[in-house]
A and B are shown apart, each in its own frame.
Chain A
């Protein structure tokens, strides 16, 4: 829909110069240190990201009791695993997992902004922040999921979770076929952020 709008030709160069100018001024004025922004970004490269969520999902796939505990008390179950410090940190103070199965497909959305479970998934991708997804996902989730490439049969219930208060939701997707005997590490490598928000299934590896 951005085709409807006209943008300055130097749109990106202009924003790049503006953000650099702002950061420089904030450093000069003592609002931030010159290492502050990098400190934030570093956290999302090593501590908080979808690599944590993928490990949680892999454990839930190999241990059905763990999956039950994860859905019943998400923070407690996450704390059982050997994950980086901060799994109840910023934007993950109160997280809740919902599990897909043969009867239910879950879709996470934030119609008012972009609430997202940072510790286990990192930062939200563009599709999640986009106003078109946020407008449509809540009324026509199946149509939206078709655009993402998933056909959910009408016999399967679609549950849409609108994150508007303290809870940050994520999805435990279904374990794909052809993964018998896979290690947790191999399983985790199959899990994408999109599958943990409900707009993708985890693809089965080639047999």
Chain B
């Protein structure tokens, strides 16, 4: 069991953070930009609905890099470190390690370069613009990467059905919020079509195109009466693999 899969409902954490800025340090913008450029160059986009020509893109990047990559890394963190480090600190750690693990850079050359920029914080980046990558970034941001597919078979559940949420074996990455495991709910909406996920999550069950349901939950069914607030409903969008008949 991974704490990051079970954040919903965790108690005694203290007050919420009221910070309304997106970036609290300028360097955070750069790692956000690096991540998003990687997604725009990701090999998986050649099969996306928009059929991006990433195979012909003049980049040395040849991996898949999706939200699943970043999320899997965050879910794999030591839980105390997950709480310790700010959002973009986690991204910076995960993305740097990815490039080292995949052999794009070595840790020695990264450390040497870090030393250089520590001593010369105002030193410029190399100048090597790449118009084609810029166009692909623009195309990806404007067209996106929908997981939509036409529905291949009838959906298993219909609006109004009472269901129970599955409790699959915990794996590296999931889109099933832990607090919903084994809980009863009601199908509130069947989304038109079917949706794939970026990767297969194995025994967890998602990846291939499948229906997605909006499921309504009573807080008391999840947290118990004493731990719930009155007059409230929780809705979650759940892939069909996570939804089971009530009995």
Contact = CB atoms under 8 A, between A and B. Distances in A.
Interface of A: 1-2, 5, 7, 12-41, 43, 47-48, 85-86, 88-94, 111-114, 122-127, 129-144, 147-148, 154-167, 193-194
Contacts of B237: 162-167
Contact of A36 (B33, B109, B233): B33
Given A160-B234, A164-B237, A12 B27 contact: yes
B129 A34 contact: yes
Contact of B33 (A1, A37, A133, A142): A37
Interface of B: 4-5, 7-11, 13-22, 24-27, 29-34, 36-41, 58-61, 67, 71, 74, 80, 82-84, 86-89, 92, 95-96, 99, 104-105, 109-110, 113-114, 116-118, 121, 125-131, 133-134, 137-138, 140-148, 174-177, 179, 191, 195, 212, 214, 219, 222-223, 227-239
Nearest to B22: A123
A148 B16 contact: yes
Nearest to B4: A112
Contacts of B230: 154
A20 B232 contact: no
28 contacts: A15-B88, A15-B89, A25-B99, A25-B109, A28-B128, A30-B60, A32-B37, A36-B130, A40-B36, A43-B137, A43-B138, A112-B5, A112-B7, A112-B177, A123-B32, A133-B16, A138-B179, A138-B234, A139-B8, A139-B219, A143-B229, A147-B16, A160-B235, A162-B236, A163-B237, A165-B237, A166-B148, A194-B20
A91 to B, nearest CB: 7
A90 B239 contact: no
A156 B84 CA distance: 36
A91 B68 CA distance: 13
Contacts of B39: 90
B34 A131 contact: no
Given A12-B25, A86-B142, A166 B16 contact: no
A125 B88 CA distance: 12
Chain A CB within 10 A, most for which of B18, B67, B84, B92: B18
A194 B22 CA distance: 12
Contact of B113 (A5, A12, A25): A25
B61 to A, nearest CB: 5
Contact of B17 (A92, A132, A163): A132
Contact of B133 (A7, A33, A160): A33
B8 A20 contact: no
Contacts of B114: 14, 17-18, 21
A89 B41 CA distance: 16
A17 B118 contact: yes
A106 to B, nearest CB: 9
A40 B92 CA distance: 17
Contact of A127 (B7, B18, B146, B195): B18
A93 B145 contact: yes
A141 B121 CA distance: 43
Contacts of A114: 87
Given A22-B110, A35-B130, A114-B87, A164 B175 contact: yes
A194 B177 CA distance: 23
